Amino acid sequence: MSILEITDLHATVETPEGTKEILKGVDLTIKAGETHAIMGPNGSGKSTLAYAIAGHPKYEITSGSVTLDGEDVLEMSVDERARAGLFLAMQYPVEVPGVTVSNFLRTAKTAVDGEAPKLRTWVSDVKGAMENLRMDPAFAERNVNEGFSGGEKKRHEILQMELLKPAIAILDETDSGLDVDALRIVSEGVNRAKENTNVGIMLITHYTRILNYITPDFVHVFVDGRVAEQGGPELAERLENEGYDRYLTAAN
């Protein structure tokens, strides 16, 4: 039973105008099997939270803690975090020229597990996962994200998650830019992972439509660098109808 605990997390970034605090005391706990939707206005710090947990060097943690099963995540290098069971699907996945999807997945799997996957099962695992996500097998030999459409990049993120089997997955706007069919396919991938590996999920999204496919246990409203309110799925409906006005006035 994995548990990710974020306590009073503060983080800053260096900008041309000086040091700017973006995370201003985030408290959030995610347990195995739980799905937490994070919703909030543009620029409120959702991606920064995702990056801070994953260990992006641009963001300096000034106070607070992040632990995974009691282990200090902030003390770990980026690859130690991955080995510990953290996974981040980025809002804007990066291109990796010269590295094929197939090589990338095998290298990542080897790094995360500490040993190379057994060739025979691995090949069929990859094939099966790609079929489930309705990805053309030809993608395996293409360079990671190079020339991928927006929706293809997002499917590739879910492919990684299904194969790497993290304990806790952070999905940063994995639903953005998906057509209705892709949204369903990607959501099915997330639900499969939940069923098969009991992964805990932080689902950053702007849209309630994905929550029709992936039922969140908790919804958190993220405003001005912290969680302003939390509730159940009904909170997402209210946000859809009312927007963030009531929080923004309170924050300013």
Ligand X SMILES: Nc1ncnc2c1ncn2[C@@H]1O[C@H](COP(=O)(O)OP(=O)(O)OP(=O)(O)O)[C@@H](O)[C@H]1O
Residue 44 contacts which entry, ligand X, Mg ion, none (Cβ below 5-8 A, type-dependent): ligand X
44 binds ligand X (CB under 6 A): yes
Among 8, 19, 58, 113, binds ligand X (CB under 6 A): 58
**Phi and psi angles of residue 81, each rounded to the nearest 5 degrees, phi first:** -65, -40
Residue nearest to Mg ion (CB): 47
Residue 154 contacts which entry, Mg ion, ligand X, none (Cβ below 5-8 A, type-dependent): none
The site for ligand X, by CB under 6 A, has a size of: 13
13 binds ligand X (CB under 6 A): yes
47 binds Mg ion (CB under 5 A): yes
174 binds Mg ion (CB under 5 A): no
Please give the Cα distance from 222 to 47 (Å, whole number): 11
59 touches 224 (CB < 8 A): no
Please identify, using beta-carbon distances, which residue of 48 and 174 lies nearer to ligand X. 48
Sort 117 into a burial class: Cβ within 10 Å, 0-12 / 13-18 / 19+.
Answer: middle
42 binds ligand X (CB under 6 A): yes
Which candidate, 138, 184, 122, places its Cα nearest to that of 158?
Answer: 184
Please identify, using beta-carbon distances, which residue of 42 and 249 lies nearer to Mg ion. 42
Local structure of residue 252 (DSSP, 8 states): -
Non-local (6+) Cβ contacts of 5 within 8 A are 29, 65, 66, 67, 68
Please identify, using beta-carbon distances, which residue of 48 and 160 lies nearer to ligand X. 48
The residue with tokens 């998650």 is 161
* Interface positions with ligand X (CB under 6 A): 13, 15, 22, 40, 42-48, 58, 91
* Interface positions with Mg ion (CB under 5 A): 46-47, 91
